[in-house]
């Protein structure tokens, strides 16, 4: 069932376990440990099949390798997926997380987990009861806390870098920005953007959540089904990936794509399509690295000032990549991948 995925994957190790009590599949995907232990979040989600869940984990693990390297952190890339029939609550959730913690602990530090879709710092507290290889526990339990504000801050810096390159100034006043997905990262990003004077639009598959955020920050709520064709200066995807494809790119009505979502491109060719369409693309694994910077930095004892400086440096990295893209006629995605791979090769 999984052979076709594993035979074509370029990672190091995939651990698969079926959790009989919950009928959930556990997948731990270790893509690279060249720069350090593979670090990536734990995604809890319902999938059409276990095959789809593993495919998601393998793809995300590879992206984490690039993200950690581009951010110049001492971690490799990994990802875990808990493919559940339905997202559990209460005792069922706790018991599943404890059994998952045993699995991660058995890997001896090859993989370091954290929170991701449908998991949070409270879940990492549970995992930490049986596993020492976990980041992002709550502050009261000695952890770095929620990395979402770090991700949002990094994306904010990345949007300013993108706007500067595309429009000649990083002033966001009056810029029409559409944030797709206003969960923990998107909602905080929306606050930062409105504080900077942007004319903000927000969308979410949960229409009530979109309207609540819009009301709180003074934005306009947009129907999630119309996001791709909505005219704006900057489109900021902050929900699930796979939003940029041969089908959607021709419908974009923006100058810049810069958001927090992972794996925004459906395939590598999509970066070329964006370039040909005159759309500046901020590579996702560069602009959304604030979360892993937050986790790695506080684990290493950085001060708040050091953390702020590293998050702001996402601006500098994108500035470099945009210049290389223009100067060499390559896509911004290719320039970012080259930066990440050069650091991996050097190690």
Q: How far apart are CA 61 and CA 40, in angstroms?
A: 7
* CB-facing half-sphere around the CA of 337: CA atoms within 13 A: 9
Task: Answer whether 24's CB lies under 8 Å from 85's CB.
Answer: yes
Task: Answer whether 215's CB lies under 8 Å from 194's CB.
Answer: no
Which one from 67, 79, 175, 319 is the annotated catalytic residue?
A: 79
Contacts of 265 (CB under 8 A, 6+ apart): 244, 245, 271, 284, 333
CA separation, residue 45 to residues 12, 50, 116, 276, 347 (Å): 24, 11, 10, 35, 34
Residue-by-residue DSSP string for 13-55: EEEEEEETTTTEEEEEEEEE-SSSSEEEEEEEE--S-HHHHHH
Q: How far apart are CA 179 and CA 10, in angstroms?
A: 33
- Cβ-count burial of 312 within 10 angstroms (0-12 exposed, 13-18 middle, 19+ buried)? middle
Q: Is 79 a catalytic residue?
A: yes
The single residue listed with the structure tokens 């560069």 is: 286
Catalytic amino acids?
A: 79
């Amino acid at each position: 069932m999984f052979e076709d995925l594993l035979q074509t994957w370029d990672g190091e190790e995939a651990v698969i376990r079926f959790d009989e009590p919950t009928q959930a599949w556990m997948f731990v995907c270790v893509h690279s440990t060249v720069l350090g232990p593979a670090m990536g979040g734990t995604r809890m989600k319902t999938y059409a099949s276990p095959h789809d869940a593993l495919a998601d984990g393998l793809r995300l693990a590879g992206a984490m390798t690039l993200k950690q390297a581009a951010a110049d952190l001492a971690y490799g890339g990994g990802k875990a997926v808990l493919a559940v029939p339905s997202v559990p609550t209460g005792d069922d959730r706790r018991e599943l997380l404890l059994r998952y913690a045993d699995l991660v602990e058995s890997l001896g530090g090859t993989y370091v987990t954290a929170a991701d879709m449908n998991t949070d710092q409270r879940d990492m507290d549970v995992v930490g009861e049986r596993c020492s290889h976990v980041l992002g526990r709550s502050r009261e339990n000695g952890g770095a806390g929620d990395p979402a504000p770090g991700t949002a801050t990094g994306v904010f810096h990345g949007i300013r870098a993108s706007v500067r390159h595309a429009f000649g100034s990083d002033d966001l006043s009056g810029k029409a920005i559409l944030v797709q997905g206003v969960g923990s990262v998107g909602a905080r990003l929306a606050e930062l953007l409105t504080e900077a004077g942007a004319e903000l639009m927000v969308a979410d598959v949960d229409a009530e959540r979109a309207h609540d955020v819009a009301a709180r920050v003074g934005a306009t709520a947009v129907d999630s089904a119309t996001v791709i064709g909505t005219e704006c200066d900057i489109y900021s995807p902050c929900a699930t990936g796979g939003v940029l494809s041969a089908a959607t790119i021709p419908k974009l009505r923006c100058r810049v794509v810069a958001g927090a979502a992972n794996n925004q491109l459906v395939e590598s060719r999509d970066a070329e399509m964006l370039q040909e369409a005159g759309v500046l693309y901020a590579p996702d694994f560069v602009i959304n690295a604030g979360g892993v910077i937050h986790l790695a930095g506080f684990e290493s004892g950085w001060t708040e000032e050091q953390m702020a400086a590293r998050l702001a440096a996402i601006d500098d990295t994108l500035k470099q990549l945009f210049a290389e893209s223009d100067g060499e006629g390559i896509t911004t995605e290719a320039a970012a991948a080259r930066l990440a791979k050069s650091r991996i090769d050097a190690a």
